[in-house]
Amino acid sequence: MRRGFPIVISGPAGSGKTSLCQRIVRGVRRVRYSVSATTRPMRPGERKGRDYHFLDERTFKQWIRVGRFCEWAKVHDYYYGTPKDFLEETLFNGNQVILDVDYQGRRAIRKEYPDGVYILILPPSFPILQKRLRKRGTETQESLQKRLKGVEKELKGLENSDYLVINRNLSKAVEAIRTIILAEGFRERGVQLNILTKAWRKKMGVNL
Ligand code: 5GP
């Protein structure tokens, strides 16, 4: 079976990453969502284990010590991390894993998984991003300011991305990401071509 590949979605808060990931998992075959761990308090409407594994700081640090994270970072005062086991097991089973991480997470995952697909999501403009964040209504003034400042940092990560998707319209952005995932499924990833070529040679009885 072909090993799966990670699909890393990043971009500033308010770019629509969460909704995009949810729609992709629902609509694209064999794509699973990597639920991160965080020390941030739960927002209304969020559910334990579905949106995040909500941990206290002590437990989070323990997970770091015992090596349960493939990467972790401090984002806007809280810790966030990607559990390693789920990622590895899912890839091993031939499924794709979609991850929503910040620019630090993207950099760390890219080092370990150079074969992954790295997609940066941007809102159409800065005023639209501000509007989306305010509309969300879950942010205090202080955390809103921090998130707006974080935009610059996210943009610096452009060079670490393979694709840029501007999220003007959710359905169109989902369609763009779905197309990327489908195309990337055909990308030759190392050893597999040798195996395929050998099998094909045998089947066709050719000796090239
Ligand atoms: P939020 O608190 O709004 O859900 O997420 C804040 C930021 O943390 C977002 O940019 C999100 O992509 C990032 N984030 C979520 N999970 C992880 C993770 O496991 N690792 C890293 N590095 N960033 C994450």
**34-53: b or e for each residue (b if 16 or more CB lie within 10 Å)?**
bbbbbbbeeeeeeeeeebbb
pLDDT tier at 81, thresholds 50, 70, 90: very high
Q: Rounded to an integer, what distance in angstroms lies between the CA atom of residue 149 and that of residue 44?
A: 24
Residue carrying structure tokens 């941007």 = 122
Centre of ligand 1 to C-alpha 82, Å, is 9
Q: Residue 202 CB: number of other CB atoms within 10 A?
A: 10
Give the mean model confidence (pLDDT) for residues 17-37: 95
Residues 173-199, mean pLDDT to the nearest whole number:
82
More confident residue, 130 or 165: 165
Give the span between the Cα atoms of 55 and 153, in whole angstroms: 26
Give me the percent of the chain exceeding a pLDDT of 70: 90
All domains in the chain, ordered by first residue: 6-204 (3.40.50.300)
State the closest ligand 1 atom to the C-alpha of 13, by its place in the atom list counted from 1.
Answer: 10
If one residue of 80, 111, 144, 156 were mutated to test the ligand 1 pocket, choosing by the most ligand atoms within 8 A of its CB, it would be: 80
pLDDT band at 192 (very low <50, low <70, confident <90, very high): low
Q: Per-residue pLDDT for 194 more than 60? A: no
Question: Given this model, what pLDDT does residue 151 score?
Answer: 77
| Pocket lining: 33 vs ligand 1, CB cutoff 6 Å | no
For residue 158, what is the DSSP state?
G
pTM of the full predicted structure?
Answer: 0.87
Verify whether ligand 1 is closer than 6 Å to residue 40 (CB atom). Answer: yes
pLDDT at 159: 73
| 88-107 per-position pLDDT tens digit | 999 999 999 999 999 999 99
